[in-house]
Chains A and B, each alone.
Chain A
Amino acid sequence: MNTNLKISNITKIYPGCVANNDVSLEFNSGKIYALLGENGAGKSTLVKILSGVVIPDEGKIYLNKNILKLNSPSDAKKNDIGMVFQHFNLFETLSVFENLIIDSDEQRENLKEKIDTIMKKYNFSVDLDVPVLNLSAGQKQKVEIIRCLIRSPKVLIMDEPTSVLTEQETSELFLSLKKFSEEGILIIYITHKLKEVMQLCDEVAVMRRGKLVSVSQINNENIESLANKMVGQDLKTIKKKKENTSSEQLIKITNLNFTSEDPFETNLVDINFSLNRGECLGIAGISGNGQSELFQVLSGEIISNKNSIEFNKNLIGDLNPQERREYLMAFSPEDRLEQAAIPQMAIFENVALNNFKSSNFFNNGLINESKIKEHSKKIISEFNVNTDNIDLKSQFLSGGNLQKLIIGRELITSPDLLICFNPTWGLDVGAINYIHETLIKINEQNKSIILISTDTDELLKLSDKISVIHRGKLSKIMNAEDVTSEKLGILMGGGN
């Protein structure tokens, strides 16, 4: 049976923001549809409307020509619309089976049978009796998918499903989605990742600032054309100018070791490298191979042997991050909201937090608010942070804006070395481009970067030298021109 889902003239306005502006779309079963857009383009609002979580101000939804009234999530369920949210809607402390039975009207035994059939059919294997908090992200997603499949949905909506998955899990997911589609389930796939759209989908709708900008067949598109539609301007292809960098050594790491007491952390073994002024050292690797420990050791969150780190001819291995900043090092940690910024504090307060000594932010223990605010405004305008309200709590900034603020905060003190860890993780194309441009600019000012990243494309684009970390050991340092992504792939897997 064919399913036809039509949305017409949907508008949803939030105070100060038009999330969806007169959006009309039509979907038919048998195809996989991509809904593409940057963060904040209105994709999520649209799917929340389709799943009954949000009620639109205007517009109508039709399923097989019948008008649909979706006033609550249960209305969507009743009308066979299934939805897998980006942030899982699971109950962590309940078992998998309890999570599944909670919104099902079936008897325990019937439901168990049904789940077994689904798991066999799609080759899922999830232990039903363990609490959800013990599952990996990929398994949690499978639970969500099973929960939808139990109701034999006509429509399945996936909201940014790969943001938490490994590559292996992603390809498994794609196989399942193709299978569902062949069986006649209409699939709407929301993402900002262009590669995935090209790999998986048949048709693509692009949204920008709440408006629908284009609907097209995937065959008529390529990554560049989609990226341009998504951002709304032609993206400059960034290329790093290879200049002859200075030979003045800035930082030298000698026999750096770190042994952790936590069994879930990786030990670092005999790390040795050096970096000259104006260079960018990229450190590649599959996540969990010691990157976060390396970042912590370099930034001083973990203190090591005094002699192991020589920076600007000073031995600083035993200094904490605050003291290392005095020597003009700067840091941009991986987790923006947990490590880099305090979500509940205002932008200007976050700006003050990494500048205790080398600034005039504090007089005799009192906060000099006007100084900090002035300084914050400078960062916001210089680094293109898209807000003019420095009293805004930092949790309300989008990922891209927050990252710009963090990098800006670090760079405004003009450090000699910036150490950053996955600086563009989870950002949209526009923001990624901006961060990349900024990092290249730093190198051009004869300042150095250590870039720890799991994104190989990014590393190849920005680095002068590249090394790979695998199980806490660093490979030899290679010149970026001699490296290909295949070679990196082999090294990341532990090969030679």
Chain B
Amino acid sequence: MIVDINFVGLIIASIMASAVPLILASCGELITERSGVLNLGVEGMMIIGAISGFALMTVTGSLIIAVFGAMLAGVLISTIFAFLTQTLITNHVATGLALTIFGIGISAMIGKNFVGIPGKEFPVLFEGLKDTIPLLSPILFGHSIVFYFAFALPFITSYFLKKTKIGLIVRAVGDSPESASNQGINVRFVRYACILYGGAMCGLAGAYLSMIYTPQWIENMTGGRGWIALALVVFSTWNPIKILIGAMIFGGLTIIQFHMQAIGVRIPVQFLTALPYIVTIIVLVVISRDSRKIRLSTPSSLGKSFHKDN
């Protein structure tokens, strides 16, 4: 059998494209969780980002306004979460779940008027280089700017956490908010900032889905990707590079099982659909077995409210 090498390249590119929203949302949530805040509202923030991006694109016609608007929408909805958990000291888990339910509901309501409207074409970069190198060209060139940003993000996140002072402060707050506060760090401010950043990234992930990946609005179109993103953060043991690996495996299996279904492999469809979820988690568990490293990268105060007493 002769396999067209460019076809392989195209498959890899489509795997990468399907990993983009997971990487964006996971890296955002990773920063939030590293500061000790467990925001289970990822799915809700993503879907808000998706509808905001699509609606703004349709109404204003400007892609730039739409993308930044989606991020802003993510920031706004995460501000609700931040206010509740950091200022009113509500429970992280309950508030996050409420955020997801709220997001799905309100996006469906806004989205009613946008069902069936075709999306706009999103500009791609380096399109002229598409046929220059076999195999690599389709992987490297001809993607949206969000795509390139997503694949740079795990490395930026890793550098930020390990090498910069602000990254150190975020980790310190996640490790022990009491100590951080006694050191004169404004814990509430740091946590607000991390929550809002996580919201922005989830908003962007949603916008990627509704504007670039499948340019249209479908109700509930995030389809559980927010939950996968959350799982990736935990099973990668809060390591951005492992998030990248996990997202690629998940994206890869999702695409491959589609193709397997299409060519009629005699495995039950339900099993194939479940495969990406199972394999991703198994792989991440296996590559993150070192208990010492887990202890070092797990934010000790994750999900615990911090209340400064005076």
Contacts and interface: CB of A to CB of B under 8 A. Distances in A.
A54 B171 CA distance: 25
Interface in B254-286: none
A53 interface: yes
A77 to B, nearest CB: 6
Contacts of B169: 102
A93 B176 CA distance: 9
B297 interface: yes
A71 B34 CA distance: 28
Interface in A393-438: none
Contact of B310 (A54, A88, A103): A54
Given A73-B183, A92-B176, A101-B168, 12 more contacts: A53-B182, A73-B181, A88-B179, A89-B176, A89-B182, A90-B176, A92-B300, A94-B172, A101-B165, A102-B168, A102-B172, A103-B184
Interface residues of B, number: 21
7 contacts: A51-B182, A77-B184, A92-B176, A94-B175, A98-B168, A103-B183, A131-B296
A98 B297 CA distance: 14
B183 A89 contact: yes
Interface string B149-176: 0000000000000000100110110011
A311 interface: no
A92 B185 CA distance: 16
Nearest to B175: A91
A94 B168 contact: yes
User: Contact size class for A?
Assistant: 20 to 34
Interface in A415-472: none
Given A73-B182, A131-B296, A55 B310 contact: yes
Contacts of B297: 93
B175 A92 contact: yes
Contact of A93 (B171, B180, B183): B171
Interface string A95-138: 00010011100000000000000000000000000010100000
A74 B172 contact: no
A386 B172 CA distance: 38
Contact of B183 (A55, A102, A131): A102
Interface string A36-56: 000000000000000101110
A91 B178 CA distance: 10
Interface string A126-162: 0000010100000000000000000000000000000
A77 B185 CA distance: 12
Interface string A46-83: 00000101110000000000000000111001000000
B62 to A, nearest CB: 42
Contacts of B300: 92-93
Interface pairs A-B: 3 shortest CB-CB: A74-B184, A89-B179, A91-B175
A85 B183 CA distance: 11
Contacts of B310: 54-55
Nearest to A78: B184
A90 B183 CA distance: 9
B182 A85 contact: yes
Contacts of A91: 171-172, 175-176, 179-180
A92 B184 CA distance: 18
Contact of B184 (A72, A94, A101): A72
B150 to A, nearest CB: 28
Contacts of B179: 88-91
B119 to A, nearest CB: 44
Nearest to B169: A102
A91 B185 CA distance: 13
A93 B295 contact: yes
Contacts of A131: 296
Nearest to A91: B175
A148 to B, nearest CB: 12
Contacts of B171: 91, 93-94, 98
A193 to B, nearest CB: 24
Contacts of B172: 91, 94, 98, 102
B304 to A, nearest CB: 14
Contacts of B175: 91-94
B214 to A, nearest CB: 40
Nearest to A103: B183
B67 to A, nearest CB: 35
A78 B130 CA distance: 59
Nearest to A53: B182
A94 B175 CA distance: 8
B159 to A, nearest CB: 15
Contacts of A89: 176, 178-179, 182-183
B192 to A, nearest CB: 18
A482 B37 CA distance: 60
A85 B172 CA distance: 17
Of B175, B185, B310, most A-chain CB atoms within 10 Å: B175
Contacts of A72: 184
Interface string B299-310: 010000000001
A55 B308 CA distance: 12
Contacts of A85: 182
A117 B133 CA distance: 57
B100 to A, nearest CB: 29
B307 to A, nearest CB: 14
Interface string B210-249: 0000000000000000000000000000000000000000
Nearest to A48: B182
A94 B168 CA distance: 8
A91 B300 CA distance: 10
A77 B172 CA distance: 18
Contacts of A74: 184
Of A53, A54, A72, most B-chain CB atoms within 10 Å: A53
A453 B30 CA distance: 46
Given A101-B168, A102-B169, A102-B172, A93 B296 contact: yes
A394 B182 CA distance: 26
B184 A73 contact: yes
Interface in A202-261: none
Nearest to A14: B309
A72 B182 CA distance: 8
B271 to A, nearest CB: 39
Nearest to A12: B310
A219 to B, nearest CB: 36
A72 to B, nearest CB: 6
Nearest to A76: B184
Contacts of A94: 168, 171-172, 175
Of B184, B297, B298, most A-chain CB atoms within 10 Å: B184
Nearest to B171: A94
Nearest to A87: B178
Contacts of A54: 310
Nearest to B181: A73
Contacts of A90: 176, 179
Contacts of B181: 73
Nearest to B298: A93
Contacts of B178: 89
A55 B165 CA distance: 29
Contacts of A103: 183-185
